Chains A and B, each alone.
Chain A
């Protein structure tokens, strides 16, 4: 057991955060692909997971963007209209931008 300020623990936490950040593009790809084929439940589930994980790893803005997307997708689970699709596309774009910035933020 170590103290939270232990350098070895901090290094492990930092490494985990970098790995998480480096994996974000793949996670966003998966959400985009699910949304593109109309698999809204699957996309919403993935956004929900990302929301929780991003916040745990200290990526608050990305967690918030994932939450926004999750809420939008929840409202799209029936038959989304063109306006809803546009909102989802915009939310995905914001998420993509934050995901691409995350590796530099984690270093």
Chain B
């Protein structure tokens, strides 16, 4: 039996959190926890490390890249794969995010039906399926 994977979705926009959770839980069959900020994400992930973090790049306070750095700096979350959410789609920006250690990048707007497939593909590529 395939284990249920836990995703931590981090975005300061409650509408994005809601629809991402709907997509990933109902279509993808993932268990989803939510965080509204980088600080909240670090707290959640340190207490209960998820299988993957889906992390918005552009957030007030601790933004996505700073959150990734903080996750990497804590032993319990150092190895947790991170996928960035971003509306910035230039190749340079994607390359920059990947160079920081992101497993992948999901562009906004995303499709609610195909988002879980993309996440599952990334988990699979990382040997976590």
Interface of A toward B, CB cutoff 8 Å: 1-4, 6, 8-9, 12-13, 16, 19-20, 23, 45, 48-49, 51-53, 55-57, 63
Contacts and interface: CB of A to CB of B under 8 A. Distances in A.
Given A13-B19, A52-B13, A56-B19, 17 more contacts: A1-B29, A2-B26, A3-B27, A4-B112, A8-B26, A9-B22, A12-B22, A13-B112, A16-B18, A48-B58, A48-B87, A49-B16, A51-B87, A52-B16, A52-B109, A57-B15, A57-B19
Interface centre among A9, A19, A23, A48, by most chain B C-beta atoms within 10 angstroms, is: A9
Contacts of B26: 1-2, 6, 8-9, 12
B126 to A, nearest CB: 20
B27 A4 contact: yes
Contacts of A48: 58, 87
B96 interface: no
A63 B27 contact: no
Contacts, number: 58
Contacts of B15: 16, 19-20, 23, 53, 56-57
B28 A1 contact: yes
SS of B interface (majority)? loop
Contacts of B110: 56
A53 B60 contact: no
Contact of A16 (B13, B19, B58, B108): B19
A2 B19 contact: no
A45 B29 CA distance: 32
Contacts of A3: 27
B66 interface: no
A13 B115 CA distance: 14
A56 B109 contact: yes
